[in-house]
Each structure stands twice: as structure tokens, then as C-alpha cells.
Amino acid sequence: MGFITPFLSASVAQAADKQLGFWGRLWNMMKPPEDISVHGNLIDWLFGYTTYMNIFFFVLVCVGLFGFSWAYRASRHPKAYYTYGNKKIHVIVATIIGLSVFIGIDMNITRMSNDDFVGVFTNWPTEKDKPVRIQALGQQWAWHFRYAGKDGLFNTEDDVVQLNDLRLPIDRKVIIQVLSKDVIHSLYFPNARRKVDAIPGRLTRLWFQPTKAGNWDIACAEMCGTYHYRMKAHLTTYSPEDYAAWLSEAQAKALEENDIENPELFWGWKWQW
Amino acid sequence: MNKALEANQIQGKQAVHAVGMTVLLVSFAMLFATLLLGYIVFRLTTDTWPPQGLARIPLTLPTISTLIIGVSSVFFMNFEKAFMTNQLGKMRAFFGLTMGLGLGFMLVQLELWNSMKEMGLWVSGGAYPSLFYSLTWIHAAHIVMALVSLLFLVPRLFEGYDMDRITWVQNVGKFWHFLGLVWFVMYIVMFVY
Amino acid sequence: MAFFEQHIHSEPKTFLSKYIFSYDHKVIGKQFLWYGILFLGIGGIMALMIRWTLAFPGQAFPIIGNFLFPETGGVVPPDTYAMLFTMHGTIMIFYAITPILIGAFGNFLIPLQIGARDMVFPLLNMLSFWLAFVSGVILLASLFTPLGAAAGGWTSYPTLSTLIGSPGAGQTLWTLALFILGISSTMGAVNYITTIIVLRAPGMGYFDMPLSVWGLGLTAILNAIFLPVLGAGLLLLIFDRVFGTTFFLAGAAATSGTGDPILFQHVFWIFGHPEVYILILPAWGIVSDLLSFFARKPAFGAKATALAMTSITILSTVVYGHHMYTTQMSPLLTQSFMTLTMTISIPSAIFFANWLGTIWKGSIKFPTPMIFSLGVVFVFGLGGLTGLYLATVTTDLYLHDTYFVVGHFHYTMAASVLLGGYAAVYFWMPKMFGKMLNETLGHIHFWLTFLGLNGVFMGMMIVGYAGMHRRIYNPFVYEFLERLIPMNTFVTYSALLMGVAQFFFVINFVYTIFFKKEKASDNPWEVGTLEWTIPSPAPVYNFKEIPVVKCGPHEFGNPNLTGDRDFQYQTEELV
């Protein structure tokens, strides 16, 4: 029974959760990761809304399925009611069910999702918002991040270039332009509920605004080869002051250490608003 | 089996083949439509066409191909007419002409690919030559298929009309005309514009 | 309706012509059934290896692990893991579900249920199976190439699937195998559509066909239209790999010129979304029929069900963009695809209303095919409703490429189609092989499978919502996924349960076919469609006399019926 062992040891590893009890731990697993962005709650809220509507309609289906199966089983209800279901009342009921699903869930979530999509997720920060600008490049199997240096221009000698290590300030909008060097990747921030594909030859972008300082994971969500699962980067969110301190240090270091002879360094591109 | 019943069978068979062939040609049409859609997407998303200073492919050879395949379709129609009236001599002549023009089309296509190479358009030279090579290759592969299916009609040239074989002649004909039509669309979309 | 009457085949004499190169649609159907079940087993074992790796990373796969992966001591290595999930997806979709539902039951049911002696093009039918066979051999052969099989996911997006990402021959063979399978399925589709149009028995209008035939026919239409689209994409991918064209190469990977990797995604999903319905439509049709058969009551709103299926078929062609929200299409496209996708729920809801309407006030019996059908209603309800999260663009931004997607499409494609397929096998077994499957084993099979699959796919949705992304070898290198270890273990145990449950089926199936002596009666389920008017198993020529159809397929419990039957054959005048 060797294969039971990891299960047990996993449980031991979760000893901290033990006091939660079984249901507590189950509930814990059913939650998305901690939300660290201003607008992540929109997605969580819409998910919750859809879930409640779904549960309502699925319970209806189950009531019909199990209820009818029980109530009209042959031993209890030997004579079936002969109908084609084309009486007016039948058609009306079927239509009402169809429309209530469509109007009750679909049109509602479409409208809300559309509002969020247009109003928030594709409402890109402009130059006036002074967002943190990042360029991200995916390659098999690592993420590169680039900050403009003191000159505010990308792809110049004083850029801060990070490997698998993204640092962001909180309470400021962040806009990331994403590109891939080889195959398609997908830049995935589980904690910000956001992802966007990194595609060779085509810029995509993504923005969010962190709210909490801490350490988080960044992943690649699109299959990109054998070590796809290892394409993990680290996100550190700082308070504005800590971020400023880190940035000035990193910029100084970049001026010192950037090897301008190395063409590999200049994978960036001109920032396009 | 009596004559009337047999005629009914033949009619049924013709109807069956008409339906089946229509479905089949819709499938083929979707294949070419997808390829042309791909072409159009590349074409519309590229700022200058042809891209990167590559040369346009001159119209001469494609125009010759178009004429050849158009005329061969007309010959095939005549072959079909001769088959229905069981005129062996005419059948042979028109069959030969169709077949000849089909082979001629392939020769012109070969010449087209040669000329593209001479212009410096290599298969691996980017999306633009890739598109022209691949689409013409796929079309040519279908032409080869059609030429092979023409061979199935060779026994008719010696045995003449046969009720059982009407559907064969019609199906091969439909496929042949279909490929001509596809080439015409390709000619307009890819070479003329 | 019938354009002409087919001749009665002469009985094949030799073993070859009877069992191998048979023109008989019933034999070809059985060939497809065995083929599908074989691949279902292979794909299932792959699934267990995948699950094992996710729950117990670094542990040797039990029993066969040491034999398969000697160099790692039985642990699935990461590159093999990628091959496993790629092949699992490909095999299950194209080599298991498609052959079982479309190949086996399409072939078997269409002529029998419309009163024809065979498919209209028997030779084409045979070629269709043998091309599928060749394709299967190529696919399996690709497992043994030096760099292993394709490993880019069943979607095989370039540029990962071009030489940049997968240099081995495996990917080329994968593409080739799918292209050949596409040709085979297109041949089948041409055959099905033509057969349904021209060979319906005299008196049988389109709405007199059983809904199974509706489902299979609509599937065939989608196949005929959209497989060539995939074919075109695959051809271009083959050209990219073999001849060095650059359709899908872009950015730093492109040596010269610029292609567009996203073009493949468009082409793939133009085909791929209808493919989802290609798989599910036959199951819908079969379930709609079976619910009526065992509720002993006409199918509720059968016309509406047929029309709802048709409208879904049409809608399925214009919604594919919801697979590509994260590639950042233009917002306008995104919005329109979201809205169009949502409209699919209207016909789907009508289905559910009609299914529940069918069992409402019925007189329901619960033999194995019926509980499988009721199971389909349950799991498809879950699968359909969870689709809403993924059609909605903002929730999809979070859920795209997570296990939530995996759970969702397994509910719709694996769970519903698998249960529907089993329902069909249990139901038509007497007509196919002349013997009945054991009911007790069937019930055990159902309940274990049902528990197992809900555990697996519900668990997948939970870990997906918790953020676990797809196709990762070891999720626990991520801190935010560590808390999901118990859930992943639970999913794996459920998968093992589901795997064990299938043994009950295999034992039942093999025993019944090869060892059971007791013959089934001609109409054991007391159903009135045309295939039950002939002996079991169906004779070579199907119908001695072509039947004349006088009423619909679901005539049960008509109060005017006298005698001890509560159903009518389709060949009888409606009383």
C-alpha cells in the first residue's frame, strides 16, 4: 500500500489546516487563490452569481430527474400518459424554461461580463494614469521582464531586466505588454485572476492593479513543451516606498552590470500606447 | 429483371450519386475555402503585398492554366454528350483531348513552380511564397486524383454506352468541373488581385 | 422516399469477406465498436497514468510502471507525461468516441432504423473503416519513434507543433494520422447523409426517423462540412514541418517572412467547436430515444427536440471564438462570440425540458440502458451549465486553460458521450450480437462509473477554480496549489474507481459475446422502431421485404391499443 503514503504525508503537511476539520479544509480547497487586485473581485462575483443561478437550474433538473423517476416508476405508475408533448401548454412550458435560462442567466451574465470587459479589463491605462510599464517575454521555459530605465524608454542600455522575477508596487496600475520568443505561452497571474497569451510575432497586453504586498506565483498557462510546469516566475508586490527603493537599486545595478555588447539583452521593443 | 424495374434502379442510382457527389463536393469546397480564407487573412493583415519586396507572380502562366482547364471542361462535356449518344469515335476524341489538356495543365503548373523558383520565391521563403506553393500543390494533387479517376472511364472508350456507368461518367465530370471552378477562383483571388 | 430498393446481398462465404473486408454495414459497425473499445482502453490507461502523476508525483506507476519506464524506475517522466495527455486527448476524441458513436452506431443504426438493406455506398463504408485502421496504426506507431509521440496537447497549437517546438517524427505522424482519419470520417459522413436522404423506407418522413438517426445525421453533416477545415489546417502544418513553409512561424522563430500561429487556432476551432457537437449529437439522439422507450411514452416534443438539435448544429458553427478569448482578439469579436455562444443555451434548455417531459407521467422501467440515459441527463446538465463560466469572457480570463475547463469538457464530452455510448451498447446488444448483456453487472457498472466520473470531473472543476492550470506535470511546484494535494489525490482515486468499473463492462461484454448460450428474443425491449421488426441478430440482408412506415418511432401507451402490447411497430397504422 505504498501509494497511500503520499496521501498521508500530504495530510501531515496540511497539519496546520487540521484544526479546520474536514469541511473547513474542503471549503479551503474550493476557494480561488487570494485576490490581490482591485478588479479581481468582479470575476469572483460573476463566478459566484453564475454558480448560484446554475445551482438553481440544476436543482430543478434534478428534481425532475429524480422526482419523476421515483414518482412514475412502472410499479407505482403502470399506465403512462399518452402525449406527444405538442399541446399548447406543453409548448408554452418548454418555451418558458428555455427563455428563463436564457434571460435569467445568459443575458444577465453576458451584460455584466460585457460591462466589466469594456469598462475594466480592456479599459487600458493611458499615459495620463502613469502606470507601471512592463514588457514580458516568454521563452521555453522562463519569463523575462523588462522595466524602462531612467530614460523612460524601452530596449535601451539602462533597462532593468529580470528573469522569472517580477516586482510591482501596490496601488498603482500595472500594464504589461507580452510577447513570446518561440512557442505560445500564457502569462498567468492566479492571484490577480488574469491571464493573456504570449504569442510570437504579436503583442498582447494585460493590466491590473495590485492591492496587497506579498509574494505570489506567476505561471505559464498554455502548454509550451516538456517543462511547461516549471515555467514559473515569482511576483513580489511592494508598498510604493519599498518599490521605489528596489527600483532605484535595480536601475543602478542595471547600469553597472548590463552587458551592452550582448545582443540577447535587447529583446525589448518600443513601447506602444 | 424487367426493363421498367431496371430503369427505375438506374434512376434511383443517379439520384443517389447526385446526392452523394454533392456532399462530397461540399467537403472539398470547404477544404479549398479554408485554404483561401488563410490566404485572404495573410493578404489583408500584410501592409504591402507582396511583402518584403518580393515580386508579384506574372499573370501569363496562371492565365494559360485557366484557359486550359476551362477548355478541358468543355471537352469533357462533349465527351459526356457523346457517351450518352454512344458515339465511340467522338467519345475517344474528346476523352483524349480532356486527358491531354489535364496533363497540359499539370505541365504548366510545373512550369509555374519553376518560374517561381527562378524569381527567387522559395518554399521556405516566408508566408507569401508558402501560400502560393501550398495552395497550388494541393490543387494539383486533386487534379492528379481527377486524372486517375478519368482512367476509370477508359473501358467506356471501347465498350461504349452502358446504363450502369452513367453515374461514373457524371461523377468524374462533376469533379473535373469542380476543380476547374476552384482553379478559376484561385486565379482571381491569388493571381489577379 | 426510398429512391430505389437495394438488392439483397449474397451471403459472404469466406472468413475474409465475412469478418475482415466486409461490405456489410453491421459488420463494419462491429469492427468500429471493437476498434473504439480497444482505443478506449488504451486512452483510459493513459488517463490513469496522468492522474497518478498528478496525485503522487515522483511515485512509480504501479504494476506496469517499471516495464514502461525502466530508466526512471517506473516514474512517468515529464516528456512522457506530455505525450500521455496529448495522446489521451487525441485517442479519446478521435479514436474512441468517434468510432464508437459515429462509426459503430452510425453504421449499425442508420440503415436498420430507416429500413434499408445496407449503406448506399458499401465499398466506401469499408474503405472508411480501413482508412481509420491505417490511421490508428500510424498513431500508435508514433509512440515508438525515437523522440516519442506528439506532445503538444490534442490541439497541437503551433509554434509548439512546428519543428521549433517538437522536432521529432511523432508530431508529423500525429498530423498525418489525423488527416487520414479525417478522410475516413468524411467518407463515412458522405455515406450517412446520402443513405438518410435516399434510402428511408417508403412512408418515412424525416420526422418519422428515430431521434438517434437525427443525431447521427446532423453529426454527419457537421463532419462533412468541418473535417475538411481541419484537414486544411493539418495540411499546412504538415507542409510547415516537412517542406519548410512558414505559415505558422512568427517572431524570432521565423527565419524569414512572417506567418501567424493564431491562424491555426482559428482554423482548428472553426472545426473544433463543431467537433464538440459532432461527438455529443449522436448521444443526444440516442438518449432522447431511450428515455421515451423506457418511459413507455412518446418522446415529449420530438419535433422540437429534432429542431433544437438542428439549431444547435447551425449555432455551433458560429461560436468557435470562445476558445480564443485569451489570444486577445478584437473586443468586438470577443463580445459577439460571447453573445452567440450564450444563445446555444436556448435549444439546450429545450432539450432538458423535453427529456424531463418524456419521463413525466411515464411508466418508467430501469434496465441498464435507461439508467445510463438518465445518467446522461444528469452529467450533461452539469457539463452544459458549467459551460456558461467559460463562455463568459471575464470569468474565462481566469478559468481559461485551468482544470475547470478540463472538468467542463470531460463532463460534456467524456461523461455524457461515454454514458450515452454505453446506453447504446447495452440497448442494441441483442440486435448486434443476438444476446443480452447481464443486467446486474450492468447496474454495478453504471453506479461505479457514475460515482467515479462525478468524483473525477467535479474534483477537476474544484481544483480548476482553485487556480490549477492544465497540462502541468507537477502542480505542487507552485505554492498556491499545494493546498490542493488532497483534492488531486481524491480525483485520482475516483479515476481508479472509474477504471475498475470498466472491468465489469469488459467481463460482461466478452462473456456475453463469446460464451453466453442464451439467445435474445427479437424484440426484448418491446420497442417499435424498424430494427426490432427483424430477427436478432439482424440477418445479412436486414429486411426481407422493405418495410412500409406508417407511424412515428415512439408510439407507446396509446389508449386505443387493444391486446397485450403497449407499443406499436412503425410498420403498423396508428390506432
The dihedral region occupied by A243, where left means phi > 0, alpha psi between -120 and 50, and beta the remainder, is alpha
- The β-bridge relationship of strands A142-147 and A160-163 is antiparallel
Phi, psi of A191 (to 5 degrees): -75, -20
**Regarding predicted confidence, which is higher, C348 or B125?**
C348
Distance in angstroms (rounded) separating the CA atoms of residues A102 and A108 = 9
User: Would you call C419 exposed, middle or buried from its count of C-beta atoms within 10 A (0-12, 13-18, 19+)?
Assistant: buried
The dihedral region occupied by C426, where left means phi > 0, alpha psi between -120 and 50, and beta the remainder, is alpha
Residues with Cβ within 8 Å of C360's Cβ and at least 6 positions away in sequence, in order, are A64, A68, A72, A81, C300
pLDDT at res. C2 = 60
CA dist list (Å): C47 to C82, C414, C464, C511? 12, 12, 17, 26
pLDDT at B4 over 70: no
Q: Where are the alpha helices (DSSP H) in A81-224?
A: 88-101, 108-116
**Regarding predicted confidence, which is higher, B182 or C4?**
B182
CA B54 to chain centre: 29
Distance in angstroms (rounded) separating the CA atoms of residues A27 and C465 = 12
| Residue C253 contacts B, CB cutoff 8 Å | no
Residue recorded with cell 444547435 = C312
Residue range A228-245: mean pLDDT, rounded? 94
Query: pLDDT digits over C495-504, tens only?
Result: 999 999 999 9
* Residue A273 cell numbers, joined: 500606447
Confidence of residue B3 (pLDDT cuts 50, 70, 90): low
Cα angle value C458/C461/C464 (rounded, 5°)? 150
pLDDT at res. A37 = 93
pLDDT at C258 over 80: no
**Does residue C541 form part of some domain?**
no
Per DSSP, which regions of A140-244 are E strands? 142-147, 160-163, 165-169, 174-180, 185-189, 194-198, 204-208, 214-220, 233-238
Q: Do C539 and C26 meet the contact criterion of CB atoms below 8 Å apart? A: no
B127 chain-C contacts, CB cut-off 8 A: 246-247, 257-260
* Residue C426 cell numbers, joined: 447495452
Contact C474 A74 (CB under 8 A): no
Confidence of residue C253 (pLDDT cuts 50, 70, 90): low
**Regarding predicted confidence, which is higher, C562 or C253?**
C562
A97 chain-C contacts, CB cut-off 8 A: 349-350, 352-353
pLDDT at A38 over 60: yes
pLDDT at res. C497 = 95
**Does residue C10 form part of some domain?**
no
Query: Is the Cα dihedral C339, C465, C448, C66 positive or negative?
Result: positive
Residue range C380-387: mean pLDDT, rounded? 93
Confidence of residue C563 (pLDDT cuts 50, 70, 90): confident
- The β-bridge relationship of strands A165-169 and A233-238 is parallel
| Residue A92 contacts C, CB cutoff 8 Å | no
C120 chain-B contacts, CB cut-off 8 A: 16, 20
* A71–chain C nearest CA distance, Å: 8
C357 chain-A contacts, CB cut-off 8 A: 85, 90, 93-94
- The β-bridge relationship of strands A132-139 and A174-180 is parallel
Facing B130 at nearest CB: one of C246, C266, C270: C246
Domain boundaries, given as residue ranges, for chain B: 2-45+60-192
Query: pLDDT digits over C463-512, tens only?
Result: 999 999 999 999 989 988 988 999 999 999 999 999 999 999 999 999 99
pLDDT at A18 over 90: no
* Residue A95 cell numbers, joined: 418555451
Facing C393 at nearest CB: one of A10, A11, A113: A113
C74 chain-A contacts, CB cut-off 8 A: none
pLDDT at res. B55 = 83
Facing A193 at nearest CB: one of C335, C398, C463: C398
Query: pLDDT digits over C291-344, tens only?
Result: 999 999 999 999 999 999 999 999 999 999 999 999 998 899 999 999 999 999
Facing A219 at nearest CB: one of C335, C385, C469: C469
Query: pLDDT digits over B31-77, tens only?
Result: 999 999 999 988 888 877 887 777 888 889 999 999 999 999 999 99
Residue C558: CB atoms within 10 Å: 16
Contact A180 C262 (CB under 8 A): no
CA dist list (Å): A200 to A180, A181, C248, C462? 4, 6, 10, 32
Contact C359 A183 (CB under 8 A): no
pLDDT at A4 over 60: no
Contact C331 A118 (CB under 8 A): yes
Instruction: Residue C425: give the domain boundaries.
Output: 22-533
Which of A182-196, B161-175, C129-143, C497-511 is least confident? B161-175
Angle separating helix axes C25-55 and C485-514, nearest 10 degrees: 150
Query: pLDDT digits over C202-220, tens only?
Result: 999 999 999 999 999 999 9
CATH number at residue C400: 1.20.210.10
Residue range A175-180: mean pLDDT, rounded? 92
CATH of domain B2-45+60-192: 1.20.120.80
pLDDT at A10 over 80: no
Cα angle value A260/A266/A267 (rounded, 5°)? 160
Query: pLDDT digits over A191-217, tens only?
Result: 999 999 999 888 899 999 999 999 999
**Regarding predicted confidence, which is higher, A24 or C377?**
C377
Mean pLDDT of chain A: 87
Q: What's the number of domains chain C is made of?
A: 1
Q: Do C370 and C364 meet the contact criterion of CB atoms below 8 Å apart? A: yes
